[in-house]
Structures are given as C-alpha cells and as structure tokens.
C-alpha cells in the first residue's frame, strides 16, 4: 500500500487559526491551482498547531477498504485542529460516509473543513464560475451538514480509529 503524503510547517498566513479565514484561504489556494490548469484535485489535509499534512486521494494505491474509514483513522491519529477535504474533480468514490449527498452536488471547487468538536465549514462554486468568494454553509449558522460529508472525528472516536490500527505493516507513506 502507498499513501502519497506531503508535510510542511504550518504558516498562519497560509493556514489561519480561524475556521472562516482558513476555509476562505484554502478556497483561494484551490482557485489558484485551478487557474494553473491543475485538474482532478482531491486532497485531504490534516492540520494541527504546527504542521499541515496533505494526502492526495487519487494517488492512494493498494487500499481496498472503506476510504472514509481510512480518513477517519488519520483524523483520530493525533491532536488535530482541522481536517479538510479539497476537491476540484468528479467526486472520488468512497469518500462519503453512508449515502452520497442528495440533490445537485457541485461539480466545481469544494472545500470542506471539520473540527474535532464536529463544527464544519463548506465552501463551493459551480464549475464555470470563478467568483472571488465561494458560497458558504456553516454549522455555526445552524445549517445541516451535507449527508455523508465529513464525520471523520466522530467516526474515529466512535470506532476508536487510529491510522496505525488500519494500515498494514507494509504501508509506505511518502
């Protein structure tokens, strides 16, 4: 098994501590990558006070299990402040827990942030709109979380998941 993985020290300029500021910063980063013609972006970020780790979902090789379970195990592995799902692609199979979201799911850029207390932030745009600001839906506004999206921290707690319990001994994280 192979998990493509990149780690960097957290810069609060690039990855602010505030949920709203972080969501918008990640959305701007996604827009820049889109303008650079990067296609099929699907990343999962693990963000703690000092480090940001990025996992490229399309490049995970050899994982035959539930990908949501893997992401939940990664979320439960240590003391994180946020997990983020960043997408500009057809939605990867298996990232949702339970049913796929119902209704019209945006086929453009999507950023979903989640905190260990289950607070969340969702920003998106339709594929052909390149507006400066995304449409935003947040838990703090009383919105209902999109079905199947996120839930990584609560699943990790509920099932006592940590990545070390999910990954075979021959896993290569690079």
The pTM of this model reads: 0.82
Question: Which residue bears the tokens 């693990």?
Answer: 46
Distance CA 43, CA 76 (A): 17
Nearest residue to 85 (alpha-carbon basis) of 98, 70, 99? 70
Task: State residue 83's pLDDT score.
Answer: 96
112 three-state secondary structure: strand
Task: State residue 105's pLDDT score.
Answer: 56
pLDDT at 172 over 90: no
Nearest residue to 110 (alpha-carbon basis) of 35, 30, 37, 38? 30
| pLDDT tens-place string over residues 59-118 | 776 666 778 888 898 898 888 999 999 987 655 444 554 444 455 555 678 899 999 999
Task: State residue 91's pLDDT score.
Answer: 53
According to DSSP H, which parts of the chain are helical?
Answer: 19-35, 67-75, 152-159, 163-166
Backbone Cα Rg of the chain:
15
Percentage above 70 pLDDT, the chain? 72
111-144 burial string, b = 16+ CB within 10 Å, else e? bbbbbbeeebbbbbbeeeeeeeebebbbbeeeee
């Amino acid at each position: 098994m192979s998990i493509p993985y990149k780690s960097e020290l957290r810069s609060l300029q690039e990855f602010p501590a505030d949920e709203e500021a972080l969501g918008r910063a990640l959305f701007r980063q996604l827009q820049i990558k889109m303008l650079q013609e990067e296609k099929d972006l699907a990343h999962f970020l693990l963000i703690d006070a000092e480090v940001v780790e990025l996992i490229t979902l399309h490049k995970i090789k050899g994982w035959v299990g539930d990908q949501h379970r893997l992401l939940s195990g990664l979320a439960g592995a240590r003391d994180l402040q946020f997990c983020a799902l960043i997408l500009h692609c057809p939605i990867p199979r298996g990232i949702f827990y339970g049913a796929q979201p119902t209704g019209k799911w945006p086929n453009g850029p999507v950023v979903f942030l989640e905190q260990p207390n289950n607070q969340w932030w969702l920003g998106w745009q339709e594929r052909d709109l390149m507006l400066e600001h995304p449409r935003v839906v947040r838990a703090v506004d009383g919105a209902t979380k999109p079905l199947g999206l996120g839930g990584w921290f609560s699943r990790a707690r509920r099932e006592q998941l940590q990545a070390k319990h999910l990954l075979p001994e021959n896993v290569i994280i690079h």
